[in-house]
């Protein structure tokens, strides 16, 4: 082999090692970002945010029941003579299309304030950090990390593609 070919092969090998090192560096940065992301996500929320999540869960269980009751009320007469003559014909415990059985959604709809109050009492006995990162701030931090990870993965893919194009790896 000529000295020129030997020199070119050494340059190709050195360049490949540099690209592989860059890929490994990117992998390390991605791993560190994932670890940071995981730490943000696994850290406990404060008591108020915990109870807010419970409220959201109850709202999901309520489903469309509250909106249906609101729609029924909008269509009910409000005039004195109409109300004086007959009580409103609203199904308070079941959706308008269901039989008269009490629906689970109705229970959550009407009892939400009491459920939340009881959950707050129970939460008093739990240990919550008062200085936790607020939920909105966590979402922002995670979005920034996710964007950075996406950029790094794109950069990594480009480097790996260049190695394949050069025929250094399959």
pLDDT digits (tens, 9 = 90+) for 45-54: 999 999 999 9
Contact (Cβ atoms closer than 8 angstroms) between residue 133 and residue 141: yes
Identify the band that residue 153 occupies on the pLDDT scale cut at 50, 70 and 90.
very high
Neighbouring residues of 168: CB distance < 8 A, sequence distance ≥ 6:
12, 16, 19
Give the pLDDT score at 96. 59
Percent of the chain at pLDDT exceeding 70: 94
Max CA pair span of the chain = 109
Beta-carbon contacts of residue 126 (< 8 Å; ≥ 6 apart): 47, 50
Answer yes or no: is pLDDT of 58 > 90: yes
Residue 97: DSSP 8-state: T
Least confident of 6-10, 152-156, 158-162: 6-10
Q: Could you tell me the sign of the dihedral formed by the alpha carbons of 77, 80, 82, 86, in that order? A: positive
pLDDT digits (tens, 9 = 90+) for 83-111: 887 777 777 776 655 566 788 898 999 99
Q: What percent of the chain has pLDDT over 90?
A: 56
Measure CA of the first residue to CA of the last residue in the chain; give whole Å: 25
CA nearest to 106, candidates 63, 165, 160: 63
* Residues comprising the chain, all counted: 170
What mean pLDDT is predicted for residues 126-130?
93
Quote the tokens at residue 77. Answer: 């007469």
Long-range Cβ pairs for the range 48-53 (8 Å, 24+): 49/132, 49/134, 49/135, 50/123, 50/126, 50/128, 51/116, 51/119, 51/120, 51/123, 52/135
Q: How far apart are CA 111 and CA 114, in angstroms?
A: 5
Q: What is the predicted pLDDT for the residue at 97?
A: 58
| pLDDT over 80 at 122, yes or no | yes
pLDDT at site 99: 60
Q: What is the pLDDT of residue 6?
A: 77
Give the pLDDT of residue 17: 85
Domain layout of the chain by residue ranges = 1-43+133-164, 45-131
- Comparing 103 with 8, the larger pLDDT belongs to 103
As a whole number, the mean pLDDT across the chain is 89
Question: In the prediction, which pLDDT does 14 show?
Answer: 78
């Amino acid at each position: 082999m000529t000295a020129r070919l030997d020199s070119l092969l050494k340059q190709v090998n050195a360049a490949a090692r540099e690209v592989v090192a860059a890929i490994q560096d990117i992998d390390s940065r991605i791993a560190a970002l994932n670890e940071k992301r995981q730490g943000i996500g696994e850290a406990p929320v404060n008591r108020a945010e915990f109870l807010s999540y419970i409220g959201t869960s109850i709202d999901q269980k309520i489903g469309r029941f509250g909106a249906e009751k609101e729609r029924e009320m909008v269509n009910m007469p409000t005039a004195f003579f109409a109300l004086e003559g007959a009580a409103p014909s609203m199904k308070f415990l079941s959706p308008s299309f269901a039989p008269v059985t009490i629906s689970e959604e109705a229970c959550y709809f009407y009892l939400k304030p009491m459920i939340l109050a009881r959950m707050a009492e129970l939460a008093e006995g739990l240990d919550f950090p008062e200085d936790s990162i607020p939920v909105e701030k966590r979402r922002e931090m995670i979005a920034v990390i996710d964007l950075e990870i996406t950029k790094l993965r794109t950069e990594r893919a480009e480097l790996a593609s260049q190695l394949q194009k050069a025929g250094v790896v399959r």
